[in-house]
Amino acid sequence: MASITIDGKVFEVDVKNNLLQECLSHAMDLPYFCWHPSMGSVGSCRQCAVIEYANEEDEKGRLVMACMTEPREGARYSIAAASKFRAQAIESIMINHPHDCPVCEEGGECHLQDMTVMSGHTYRRYDGKKKTHNNQYLGPFINHEMNRCITCYRCVRYYKDYAGGTDFGPQASHDNTYFGRWQEGPLESEFSGNLVEVCPTGVFTDKPFSKHYSRKWDLQSSPSVCTGCSVGCNTNPGERYGTLRRIVNRFNDEVNGYFLCDKGRFGAEFVNSSERIPVNMMRDSHNAAPIQIEPDAAKEALKNAAKSAVGIGSPRASMEANFALRELVGEENFYAGIATEELDMLNKIIDIYQSKPVKIASVKDIESSDAVLILGEDLTNTAARLALGVRQSVKNLGRQMGADLNFPIWHDAAIRQLAMDKLSPLYILSPHTTRLDDIAHTTHISSAAHSAKIGMAIAHAIDSTAPDVAGLSKEEKALVNEIAESLKSAKQALIISGTSSLEPALLDAASNIATALQSGDDKANLALVSSESNSMGLALMMQGNAKSLEQAMSASSKTAIVLENDLYRRAPSADVDAFVNSLDNLLVLDHLKNRTGEQANLVLAAATFAESSGTFVNYEGRAQHYYSTFKSDSNIRSSALWLSDKHFNEITAACAVAIANCGAIAELTPGENYNFAGLKAPRQHHRYSGRTSMRANISVHEPKQEQDEDGVMVYSMEGVPAIKDAAVLNSPWAPGWNSNQSLFKFQEFAGGPLKQASNGQRLLSNNSAEKTWYEAGNSDDTSEGYKVFPLYHLFGSEELSAYTPAIQEKATSAYVSLSPEDAAKLGLQASDGVQVEHNGAVPFIVRESIQPGTVGVSVGLKGLNFQDMSAAVSLDKAADWKNPELWRAANIIVSDKRVEGAD
Amino acid sequence: MTNIIASTALKARQLTEEEIHEIEHEKTHYPYAQAVGLEALKIVQKYQGWVSDESLLAVSEYLDIPPDDLEGVATFFNMIFRRPVGKNVILLCDSVACWMLGCDDLKAHITSTLGIDYGETTEDDMFTLIPVPCLGDCDKAPSMMVGRELYRNLTNEKIDQIIAGYKAKA
């Protein structure tokens, strides 16, 4: 800490931060563009200029950029004295900027607007010709409007330096400076959507949002959690006229920070899908035509059926919905709704987190690790935000090199120059190359079972009391020792694995390695990725028992209630068909039409995350609450409220009491008695327009305000906005700060944790210091045929986001991936298809990294059901092959050289 | 391996043996192959006259530099031509000294003689006219370069002779 004087006032500041950060932290309005809390300072935009005085006598001082200045003890600065310079700087920045705010989508939440007003440049003197540029097509997610660019370079620093993208960059110089791709085409980074928030003006805007655009102040929004994967990134959905318009990032210091992946940002519009189940439908027999029934009648039918039913829960439904189903059918009749294999793995993860001497790693912990081992998890496709975190972790060597030379941590350009291509070690064991290979020290190609063996050997190399394995090659033994050394010498090692490869031995190996690394209080970070938004919550609900979907299907009940779950994604089609046919009565609660729902006798229209509240438990066992964003049509209800007569908060409270480890889920919201000066938190901005007239086409009478199910927020603009109390922070706003940059007003210091809002609650923890080991299994696979491994796609593999048009544009139909040797052996030509046993024919691509004798099969994509695959399959050239309409080979972005396949 | 995606229908041109030989020679001067990007573009331009998309992609693949990075370099430097130019590139200096001594008149003369403005190429692909901010030859202003030759103390007559000389050589 140091004490400095700014414009005559004395402030205590943290010398580790730069002066700009400290000015913002102390609630001073100092304009800036190029600085970003996650990306540090480069001092290029000249907006945060202040005057620094040499001593008490100095009256003139000198101009310094606050973002590039380390606060010195006793130093004297002035923000006011440099105001003319800042106004001039912004005037020159604005010379080529168009006067298009009224038609620009950034208008109203534009950092450039805010800064221009703040700097005092209110009158434009330049009347010359402005430079104009051509815009590019950048894919289905991002609009490009280069004329608005003010060349702050934030996009490049984010896209290339932070997110590791290679297909975007700055071109030309001075007036011609251009930010784009060298040739038009979709941006390839899985994190491109953050450009929308990183760009301080309207160069990069949200393309799906622009198709049904609304100003920020006209959007109704609430704190929410992404449903795309098990990371549980915090989001802010925005709604207008009953449809979900967009998703923006909601800051959570420990989880997603400032950034989302593109599935999270652009994958939520399934809420508006034409495939939504809009009303409740009932039919007497399988073959009868369904008829619509009223909600109350539907609920009555559900309750009557529940008396003798099995309840099948879901890893994508909230804790409350799963718990309400468990209560309705009784604990003994409640089943997890996922395959035994997966449930066992989730139970194992809970066991590891609770009993092994490891530290459960949040995204923030991942970012601060300095040696990483990924065991068989294709992170970019299964938990993308973690992959972005790993990209930050490899920069820690550079940061350490900088720290050794006393470089401030925020000095981004200096640290990058110093580090050049030196990265902290990252090792990946995977059956195919991954999108993180460019930063990996080594990517070792091996099957999941074999990777687990290597992992066991690594644990043994670190701690000889851990079980050893036989059967590794000489090269692999050398690799084992190299990885063991690298993890041992790290300050904070991190092991990542997960359930996606369906290989439990990988979890054993990951646990053993992390356990081996423990010494005293030093524990290794461990992140075990699960598959869906509430997989961990569902597993917690099962409390260690093994009641999987298979058991539900063999329970010989004649009635089943299926909660938000397409069973065909969980078990082989033949088994699900047999189960459904054995039932007299199938009741389904879901948002979207699917194969299970089509066969139901009663379909209840379930609210999505945007229309209901609930709790998800992420991969680390962190429970997070999401508030409904808007009230749905009266036919649609939250699953929890379909299944229970209780008040929503009572369901949460009962779940917290009944389910072990889940006590904290009742503490995630301020509670229904929450108020600030007697008022609730509004979902609508205080500038929300059209309230009295927006329903005038239906009725000129303004309806009563909708009631909120958990009673913390209101569906209204009335109430005390977050600026006073940020406990329920939705869309940040502060006077003079209309853009998302206003977030720092809610943080303990600029870039730090939020003052009042909750980061969620970790449900699992341990104080274990006892080393216990998993034994190495003998998992040598002897099945005949091509050994199958799953290929996940960020765009398309996940069930809900696949209903979103923009995601569909980035997805492809099902396919297999083969080694060049096997493609030759099968005699495949570019235009051929591959017959996968009796499961149908699909297109193929050939990848150099794939081992002969193995085949990658896409998961969740249209055209082939991964659940129908056996461990090994026979492959043949398909007869009379024509590529399906949805096949888009160019959307498959891989990091090994792709040999020409069926394009 | 860098991730070069077939998101473009463009195919890289095959680099010639001379080009590869010179690029390999440049590589010996630098610790990383990626550092040779600019030199490689200059080499390609020396042999091809300009850097086409196909050439850029060829260098990108040869040196394992993403094409976007290489395009950033190519467009930053004015003298890397990303559009075809004539056989002889006329670089007419338009900085202060040359401007004071009448480069505007010289430009008008060239334009009327060859029928090309700045950035244009004659129909017979003989000449391209480009302004250049300074040739460092202010004491002999006005001046210009054609190809690698510097011409100083220019007058309209001198320019006619120079142009005639290049036409005769063709």
Provide the pLDDT for residue A720.
Answer: 81
CATH number of A490's domain: 3.40.228.10
CA distance A684 to A696: 19
Q: What percent of chain A shows pLDDT beyond 90?
A: 85
Q: What is the 3-state secondary structure (H, E, C) of B82-113?
A: CCCCCCEEEEEECCHHHHHCCHHHHHHHHHHH
Q: Are A708 and A714 in contact (CB under 8 A)?
A: yes
Judge: B2–A438 Cβ closer than 8 Å, yes or no. Answer: yes
CATH number of A39's domain: 3.10.20.740
Helix axes B37-48, B17-27, angle to 10 degrees: 150
Long-range pairs of A897-901 with CB within 8 A, sequence gap ≥ 24: A897/A848, A897/B1, A898/A845, A898/A846, A898/A847, A898/A848, A898/B6, A899/A820, A899/A823, A899/A846, A899/A847, A899/A848, A900/A830, A900/A846, A901/A823, A901/A830, A901/A843, A901/A844, A901/A845, A901/A846
Q: Residue A164 has what DSSP assignment?
A: -
Confidence class for position A779, pLDDT limits 50, 70, 90:
low
- Asked if the model's pLDDT at residue A580 lies above 90, the reply is yes
Which residue does chain B place closest to A178, by CA atoms? B72
Number of helical H runs and strand E runs in chain B: 7, 4
CB atoms within 10 A of CB A658: 14
**Same structural domain for residues A373 and A511?**
yes
Answer whether residue A372 is part of any domain: yes
**Same structural domain for residues A333 and A449?**
no
CATH number of A878's domain: 2.40.40.20
Please report residues of A whose CB lies closer than 8 A to that of B53.
183
How far does Cα B108 stand from its chain's mean position? 22
Provide the pLDDT for residue B3.
Answer: 36
- For residue A898, the SS3 value is strand
**Closest approach of B73 to chain A, Cα-based (Å):** 7
Looking at the DSSP bridge assignments, the partners of residue A876 are: A835
- Asked if the model's pLDDT at residue A110 lies above 90, the reply is yes
CA distance B15 to B18: 8
Domain boundary, last residue among A468, A499, A523: A523
CATH number of A616's domain: 3.40.50.740
**Closest approach of B57 to chain A, Cα-based (Å):** 10
Domain boundary, last residue among A495, A523, A551: A523
CA distance A367 to A254: 10
How many structural domains does chain A have?
4
- Asked if the model's pLDDT at residue B18 lies above 60, the reply is yes
Mean pLDDT of chain B: 92
Give the best residue of A173, A183, A428, A436 to mutate against chain B (max B CB count within 10 A): A183
* Burial degree of A233 (CB within 10 A; 0-12, 13-18, 19+): buried
Judge: A186–B7 Cβ closer than 8 Å, yes or no. Answer: yes
Judge: A171–B75 Cβ closer than 8 Å, yes or no. Answer: yes
Answer whether residue A694 is part of any domain: no
Confidence class for position B2, pLDDT limits 50, 70, 90:
very low
**Same structural domain for residues A493 and A388?**
yes
Confidence class for position A702, pLDDT limits 50, 70, 90:
confident
Residue A197 φ then ψ, to 5°: -90, -25
The minimal CB distance from B72 to the residues A169, A435, A890 is found for: A169
Confidence class for position A898, pLDDT limits 50, 70, 90:
low
Answer whether residue A490 is part of any domain: yes
* CB interface of B with A, residues 60-89, below 8 Å: 66-72, 75-76
Judge: B69–A169 Cβ closer than 8 Å, yes or no. Answer: yes
Judge: A166–B7 Cβ closer than 8 Å, yes or no. Answer: no
Judge: A171–B76 Cβ closer than 8 Å, yes or no. Answer: yes
Mean pLDDT of A153-181: 95
- For residue A453, the SS3 value is helix
Please report residues of A whose CB lies closer than 8 A to that of B52.
none
CA distance A31 to A49: 9
Instruction: Name the token pair of A12.
Output: 């205590």
Provide the pLDDT for residue A674.
Answer: 84
Domain boundary, last residue among A480, A498, A523: A523
Spatial CB neighbours of A782, under 8 Å, sequence gap ≥ 6 = none
Judge: B7–A438 Cβ closer than 8 Å, yes or no. Answer: no
Which residue does chain A place closest to B77, by CA atoms? A172
Nearest to A719, CA basis, from A220, A187, A323, A302:
A220
Domain range for A491 is 359-523
Which residue does chain A place closest to B10, by CA atoms? A183
Nearest to A866, CA basis, from A814, A813, A819, A799:
A814
Spatial CB neighbours of A839, under 8 Å, sequence gap ≥ 6 = A864, A865, A868, A869, A873
**Same structural domain for residues A329 and A376?**
no
To the nearest 5 percent, what fractions of chain A are helix, strand and coil?
30, 20, 50
Mean pLDDT of chain A: 93
Answer whether residue A625 is part of any domain: yes
Instruction: Name the token pair of B102.
Output: 């009448």
Long-range pairs of A402-410 with CB within 8 A, sequence gap ≥ 24: A408/A16, A408/A18, A408/A70, A409/A16, A409/A40, A410/A17, A410/A18, A410/A21, A410/A40, A410/A41, A410/A67
Any B CB within 8 A of A168 CB: yes
Judge: B76–A173 Cβ closer than 8 Å, yes or no. Answer: yes
Put residue A139 in one of left, alpha, beta given phi > 0 → left and psi -120 to 50 → alpha: left
**Closest approach of B71 to chain A, Cα-based (Å):** 6
**Same structural domain for residues A586 and A642?**
yes
The minimal CB distance from B5 to the residues A173, A178, A188 is found for: A188
**Closest approach of A138 to chain B, Cα-based (Å):** 11
- In the block, residue with structure tokens 């001046």: B143
- Asked if the model's pLDDT at residue B5 lies above 60, the reply is no
Confidence class for position A758, pLDDT limits 50, 70, 90:
confident
**Of A878 and A729, the one with more pLDDT:** A878
Pairing of strands A334-335, A309-312: parallel
What is the tens place of the pLDDT at every residue in B80-121?
999 999 999 999 999 999 999 999 999 999 999 999 999 999
**Closest approach of A192 to chain B, Cα-based (Å):** 16
Answer whether residue A656 is part of any domain: yes
Give the best residue of A153, A157, A177, A182 to mutate against chain B (max B CB count within 10 A): A182
Provide the pLDDT for residue B1.
Answer: 30
Which residue does chain B place closest to A891, by CA atoms? B7
**Same structural domain for residues A512 and A368?**
yes
**Same structural domain for residues A367 and A512?**
yes
Which residue does chain B place closest to A888, by CA atoms? B7
Looking at the DSSP bridge assignments, the partners of residue B79 are: none
Answer whether residue A211 is part of any domain: no
Please report residues of B whose CB lies closer than 8 A to that of A181.
68
CA distance B90 to A375: 60
Provide the pLDDT for residue A780.
Answer: 62
At residue A16's C-alpha, the angle toward residues A13 and A19, to 5°, is 55
**Same structural domain for residues A409 and A448?**
yes
Which residue does chain A place closest to B69, by CA atoms? A169
Q: Are A280 and A605 in contact (CB under 8 A)?
A: yes
The whole-model pTM stands at 0.95
Q: Are A469 and A477 in contact (CB under 8 A)?
A: no
CA distance A336 to A546: 8
**Same structural domain for residues A413 and A483?**
yes
Mean pLDDT of A147-169: 96
Answer whether residue A183 is part of any domain: no
**Same structural domain for residues A450 and A586?**
no
Instruction: Name the token pair of A155.
Output: 């996009």
Answer whether residue A685 is part of any domain: no
Judge: A182–B56 Cβ closer than 8 Å, yes or no. Answer: yes
- For residue A194, the SS3 value is helix
Judge: A168–B68 Cβ closer than 8 Å, yes or no. Answer: yes
Which residue does chain B place closest to A442, by CA atoms? B1
Q: Are A54 and A773 in contact (CB under 8 A)?
A: no
Please report residues of A whose CB lies closer than 8 A to that of B66.
166-167, 169
Confidence class for position A647, pLDDT limits 50, 70, 90:
very high
**Of A295 and A284, the one with more pLDDT:** A295
**Closest approach of A169 to chain B, Cα-based (Å):** 6
Any B CB within 8 A of A183 CB: yes
Amino acid identity of residue A609, one-letter, is F
**Same structural domain for residues A35 and A78?**
yes
Pairing of strands A816-818, A872-873: unpaired
Mean pLDDT of A466-488: 96
**Same structural domain for residues A479 and A373?**
yes
Q: Count of residues for chain B?
A: 170
- In the block, residue with structure tokens 């009335």: A718
Q: What is the 3-state secondary structure (H, E, C) of B23-67?
A: HHHHHCCCCCHHHHHHHHHHHHHHHHCCCCHHHHHHHHHHHCCCH
Judge: A185–B7 Cβ closer than 8 Å, yes or no. Answer: yes
CA distance B113 to B122: 10
Confidence class for position A903, pLDDT limits 50, 70, 90:
very low
